[in-house]
Amino acid sequence: MARYVYDFDEPSGGGRELLGGKGIGLAEMTLMGLPVPAGFTITTDACRAYMQTADLPKGLEEEVAEHVRRLEGKTGKRFGDAGDPLLVSVRSGAAVSMPGMMDTILNLGLNDDAVEGLAARTGNRRFAFDSYRRLLQMFGEVVDGIDPHRFEDALSELKAQRGARQDTDLTAEDLEQLVRTYQEIYTTFPAEPTEQLIRAVRAVFDSWETPRAQVYRRANDIPDDLGTAVNVVQMVFGNKGERSGTGVAFTRNPSTGANELYGEFLANAQGEDVVAGIRTPQPVESMAEVLPAAYRQLLETLRRLEERYRDMQDVEFTVEDDRLYMLQTRSAKRTAAAALKAATDMVDEGLISREEAVSRIDPGQLDQLLHPMIDPASAPEPATRGLNASPGAASGAIVFDADAAVARSATGPVILVRFETTPDDIHGMIASQGILTVHGGMTSHAAVVARGMGKPCVAGCDELELQNGIARLAGTELREGDVITIDGGTGNVYIGEVPLVAPQLNDDFETVLRWADDLRRLKVRANADTPDDAARARDFGAEGIGLCRTEHMFFGEERLAVVQEMILADDEPGRRAALERLLPFQQSDFEGIFQAMAGLPVTIRLLDPPLHEFLPSEEQATSDKMRARIRSLREANPMLGTRGCRLGLIFPEIYEMQIRAIARAAKSVGNAAVVEIMHPLVGFPEELRRLRDLTERVWSEEAPDVPRAIGTMIELPRACVRADEIAADADFFSFGTNDLTQTTLGMSRDDAEGKFLARYLEDGVLERNPFEVLDQSGVGDLMRLGVERGRGVKAELKIGICGEHGGEPRSVAFCHGLRLDYVSCSPYRVPVARLAAAQAALAEAGSAQYVAAGG
Ligand code: ADP
Ligand code: MG
Ligand code: MG
């Protein structure tokens, strides 16, 4: 019969997938001989079985009862005992960490008898009833869906009656009375501990399917069928008095990566109190004076854990009467800057190899470092300051709740402003550019989740007053829609919009990317249309330009009039006359780019959009002739109309001018870039054959001695399928996966995103947006065919990708697998692509498993 339950000190034969992150951590810490309370884990297998049948699998209840008996044996305490009761926590824990998504129940096992036992045994009646009222509230909330405000209001009322400022000011009698009030609020609490336990286990399993958990999984690409494990852990008590307490600690600083202790501790408190921000915790170093022995043991434990996991850890611990207990360890969530610093430090310390360092950085997270910062030159005056909880700066319209964040984010950037956040706010946090809270510390929900998402967050900003949809800040009243700027790197908050600048990349960043460069096979280029973009791309490490679009060069103020003149011309000579005047503009644009990219390849795509894009709307036409021309150029479906190489074949003089401008620029710039001329939207070999002839003819007139390559963008399914015939006239292919996705899926991006595609993603028809993450099995399969057939006739065919997918880590890995020569993406994504390409190479070599930061 299947087995579903393992004690922490029993070999389970399974890892993280079976026991969940929390369970495997508890088991491994137990095995290391660290002080972990006794307990057991109910596996994710049990959760999956539960989800399939909507019931606990057969035999599970008996197995749990058996492990409870063993736990009673180990601890010498009994469930429900009126003399010395066993109490446990029931904690969810999936294979992938989902902070705050699942609910934990503490002090399970208490009832009216057991609470007396606990009071007698500990000689601490206040503590016993404090634990009991916590159980009633948590159990009521999590298992029976009782509105937590009803408990909180009762507590506030009692505190007001007693003139108590903090929970700790309440006496034993007060708490006894509170328990009775709670029992009136929550009348169906099951007194029997085993029933409590089984109902709690079900509740944990159920919580896997809550909407907020689903939203989190979707946002983080966590499969829905992983399921969660349940950990049952003997309670240890941080709320027993001043020689007890609870805290969280990181082996290194999770914001900067510095190798220093970092954490918070709250005396006389239990679990959630630190995270919930009910009282302000002290820095963990404060333990050194009050609890020196436990503190020393904590430091030693952190050292051992980092050595064991060879990665930055974050732990939860509790001290009960001077004794330290470890309750959780996991690979620490960290900012990108911290991930880079810790990785380079650990290589220096000899803890990990360069390959491990490279494989450990989450490429998506690098984005954080590429986020804008407040322009130091603008030196604005902050209105107030909170905790610098997650770095990066953002401006946006204020919203006061998660739904408003989602609604308003459609029209522009928003900053979510809350007293504090809870897991119910996740969808709003996803929709926001930044998060600002009044309450809570560096380990509050808002701070932890924002760091994980790589969003700026300022927490604990207590000078900010929130009331009835109005925020008061430094004497100013702000309402929804008013713009503020937050800087999560400093904690500063500004009223209004503040100028932002791109960040300087630091040494750790350069170091890790240099290591990545040594490991990758794919080259990384950038999509850049201007000399400025090209220069930025080089700064970010681009090894060429994979896509230089030429149409913007037609839009400059003096140019557009000439372009329109060309389009309106009655005949070819008229068009040529106008093109003649455009040529110098184009030539100087190309010269700038070639200079910036000296010695590197530059792929220039000839004019692609339909001509009507250069004309105004019919109402704005300045002449009858223009109006008539606009009408004649109108297309039912411009995406599939007269564009790309079709333009080049129908109006060859346009492409001729562009080729001439490129050739002259290449010739005039001495140490020029390597020129690659790319014809867009080719579907038939004959199209490329004719355009190749045209290109060669013009080139030999202008710059016969300057080398050039002639190729095509592959962005139609037909081009993939007939890649063998097309390759005959191509020196290179570049997959234009934006259009290839549209043409393969038969979806126009503008008509899909935010419309039916949003529904598809919500309803789970599609798992990912194919315009962001390459549709590997559809579009990707066509690419595979294109590569095979193209290289089948021309082994040396150079092949790249220049769609937006070229900077998306999973798509980069796919391109690596297809043995493309390069990926090309926007300049800011170049570092991401460099890292992702190295990780793909490492994964292929099997020399390192991919371990994302956090988890
Ligand atoms: P989360 O995933 O939200 O951190 P946890 O299961 O880790 O949930 O627990 C919530 C809080 O309760 C944490 O602060 C944890 O340290 C504390 N806690 C959990 N189990 C116990 C226990 N057996 N004794 C004391 N505190 C506990
Ligand atoms: Mg925890
Ligand atoms: Mg295209």
Considering every ligand atom shown, identify the ligand nearest to the alpha carbon of residue 803 and give its number: 3
Percent share of the chain, pLDDT over 70: 96
Ligand 3 geometric centre to CA of 712 (Å): 11
Distances, alpha carbon 517 to alpha carbons 332, 369, 482, in Å: 26, 19, 44
Q: Average pLDDT for residues 91-98, to the nearest whole number?
A: 87
- In ligand 1, which atom is closest to the CA atom of 237? 25
pLDDT band at 40 (very low <50, low <70, confident <90, very high): very high
Whether 594 and 578 have beta carbons less than 8 Å apart is answered as no
Ligand 1 atom, smallest distance to 327 CA: 16
pLDDT at position 616 is 85
pLDDT of residue 852: 38
For a substitution probing ligand 1, which of 268, 327, 422, 443 has the most ligand atoms within 8 Å of its CB?
327
Asked if pLDDT for residue 778 goes beyond 70, the answer is yes
pLDDT at residue 25, rounded to an integer: 97
φ and ψ at residue 672, rounded to 5 degrees: -75, 165
CA distance 370 to 392: 9
Per DSSP, 852 falls in state -
Check if the beta carbon of residue 316 is closer than 8 Å to that of residue 97: no
Other CB atoms within a 10 A radius of the CB of residue 843 amount to 16
Mutate to test the pocket of ligand 1, among 316, 320, 323 (most ligand atoms within 8 A of CB): 316
Encoding tokens for residue 398?
């204020």
Closest CA to 132 of 91, 195, 177: 177
Pocket test for ligand 1, best of 41, 106, 212 (most atoms within 8 A of CB): 106
Distance 442 CA to ligand 1 centre (A): 18
* Residues 6 or more apart whose Cβ sits within 8 Å of residue 52: none
Ligand 1, atom 17, residue with closest C-alpha: 271
Active-site residues, by number, are 445, 802
Cα(364) to centroid of ligand 3, in Å?
25
Q: Can you name the residues that pair with 320 across neighbouring β-strands?
A: 323
Question: In terms of DSSP bridges, do strands 323-331 and 523-527 run parallel, antiparallel, or are they unpaired?
Answer: unpaired
Q: Which residues pair with 738 in a beta bridge?
A: none
Residues with C-beta less than 6 Å from any ligand 1 atom? 37, 89, 91, 100, 104, 106, 233-236, 271-272, 316, 318, 327-328
233 Cα nearest atom in ligand 1: 23
CA distances to 313, 364, 584, 610 from 453, in Å: 18, 10, 47, 39
Span 117-158, pLDDT tens digits: 999 988 889 989 999 999 999 999 989 999 999 999 999 999
What is the torsion angle, in degrees rounded to the nearest 10, for the CA atoms of residue 445, residue 447, residue 451 and residue 454?
A: 100
Mean pLDDT of 285-292: 94
pLDDT for the residue 697: 98
Residues in the chain: 855
Q: Give 346-379 pLDDT, tens digit per residue.
A: 999 999 999 999 999 998 778 767 777 888 778 7
* For residue 803, pLDDT beyond 50: yes
Express each pLDDT in 375-414 by its tens digit: 877 878 899 999 888 888 999 999 999 999 999 998 899 9
Please tell me the distance from the alpha carbon of residue 722 to that of residue 121, in angstroms, as a whole number: 82
- Residue owning the nearest CA to atom 14 of ligand 1: 271
Ligand 1 binding pocket mutation candidate from 248, 326, 328 (most atoms within 8 A of CB): 328
Atom 13 of ligand 1: nearest residue by CA position = 271
CA 274 to ligand 1 centroid distance, Å? 11
Query: Please, what is the average pLDDT of the chain?
Result: 91
Q: Which ligand is nearest to the CA of 606?
A: 3
Reference 415, options 397, 439, 401; nearest CA is 397
Helical residues (DSSP H) of 674-756, grouped into ranges: 685-702, 717-721, 723-727, 737-745, 749-751
For ligand 1, atom 3, the nearest C-alpha belongs to: 100
Atom 12 of ligand 1: nearest residue by CA position: 271
| Ligand located closest to 639 CA | 3
Task: Give me ligand 2 centre to Cα 42, in Å.
Answer: 17
Q: Which tens digits make up the pLDDT trace of 627-686?
A: 999 999 999 998 899 999 999 999 999 999 999 999 999 999 977 779 999 999 999 999
Identify the band that residue 504 occupies on the pLDDT scale cut at 50, 70 and 90: low
Sign of CA dihedral 539, 540, 541, 547: negative
pTM score, two decimals?
Answer: 0.77
Instruction: Using the mean position of ligand 1's atoms as its centre, give its distance from the Cα of residue 652 in Å.
Output: 71
Question: How many CB atoms lie under 10 A from the CB of residue 184?
Answer: 8
**Which atom of ligand 1 lies at the shortest distance from residue 317's CA?**
16
Residue 633 CA to ligand 3 center (angstroms) comes to 19
Ligand 1 atom at shortest distance from the alpha carbon of 37: 23
The minimum-distance atom of ligand 1 relative to the CA of 39 is: 23
For residue 612, give the DSSP letter: G
Q: Which ligand is nearest to the CA of 320?
A: 1
Task: Enumerate residues with CB within 5 Å of ligand 3 (an ion).
Answer: 715, 736, 739
Task: Give me 837's structure tokens.
Answer: 């390409």
The reported pLDDT for the residue numbered 102 is 61
Instruction: Tell how far the Cα of 328 is from the centroid of ligand 2, in angstroms.
Output: 6
What are the pLDDT digits (tens) for 191-231?
A: 999 999 999 999 999 989 888 888 778 777 788 889 999 99
Q: Across residues 697-715, what is the average pLDDT?
A: 96
> Nearest to residue 815, comparing CAs of 740, 747, 749?
740
Our measurement of the distance from residue 255's CA atom to the centroid of its chain's CA atoms, rounded to an integer in Å, reads 16
Closest residue by Cα to atom 23, ligand 1, is: 235
Section 310-314 average pLDDT: 95
Q: Closest ligand 1 atom to the C-alpha of 316?
A: 16
